[in-house]
Chains A and B, each alone.
Chain A
Amino acid sequence: EIVLTQSPATLSLSPGERATLSCRASQSVSSYLAWYQQKPGQAPRLLIYDASERATGIPVRFSGSGSGTDFTLTISSLEPEDFAVYYCQQRSNWPLTFGGGTHVEIK
């Protein structure tokens, strides 16, 4: 099973700041990595797929990069609605696995 490790667990930032979230895979997943956002009481929402492709309707302030084992989700300038939990997910091997999440909280 491919283990995805997200860091940091919690990121405390202010609106307008840049957020950088990391996801590291225990073995190569090529570019088969997605990022999701989840707000309290809601289902997750797909942000990025295949490491760097923005999903439909996702603002350009969200961007993804990386390949192999190291990936990054960047939010260029945090909006109030961006404070949430973010998960990465690999689709290279079954079982499909998620990282443990990064909570982006208001500082």
Chain B
Amino acid sequence: QVQLVESGGGLVKPGGSLRLSCVASGLTFSVEYMGWIRQAPGKGLEWISYISNSATAIFNADTVKGRFIVSRDNAKNSLYLQMNSLRVEDTAVYYCVRVRGLGPYGHADHWGQGTLVTVSS
């Protein structure tokens, strides 16, 4: 079965950096499109990053553009999110997701358990 396991969350000061990782199993990672979705405490869902199987297509939400970098290592079945210049409003649970769907973009058919990032002084 598909498993996505995130790690790397924690407490960081405003302006700091953090790198999230997601290790995937039970799938052929190198052919899968992947993404990161976040959820602030008590709030709704926000899709922040989307990366194609070969990383030739990458999309980022305006709220994180220029600060967050999504990448992948297909040899390690791993997805990453490098988060720089963190702000208080980046506080959220970050979910790694597998993306599926023919045509434009996709939906998230498998989710990790999430990792909490807290930005606070």
Contacts and interface: CB of A to CB of B under 8 A. Distances in A.
Contact of B107 (A34, A43, A56): A34
Interface in A79-100: 87, 89, 91-100
Interface string A30-53: 001010100000011110011000
Interface in B14-57: 44-47, 50
B44 A89 contact: no
Contacts of B104: 32, 91-93
A55 B101 CA distance: 12
Contacts of A93: 104-105
B25 to A, nearest CB: 16
Contact of B111 (A32, A34, A43): A43
Interface of A is mostly: loop
Contacts of B103: 32, 91
Closest 3 CB pairs of A and B: A34-B107, A43-B111, A96-B47
Interface of A: 32, 34, 36, 43-46, 49-50, 55-56, 87, 89, 91-101
Given A44-B111, A87-B44, 4 more contacts: A32-B103, A56-B109, A89-B108, A100-B44
7 contacts: A34-B108, A36-B45, A45-B111, A89-B47, A91-B103, A98-B47, A100-B44
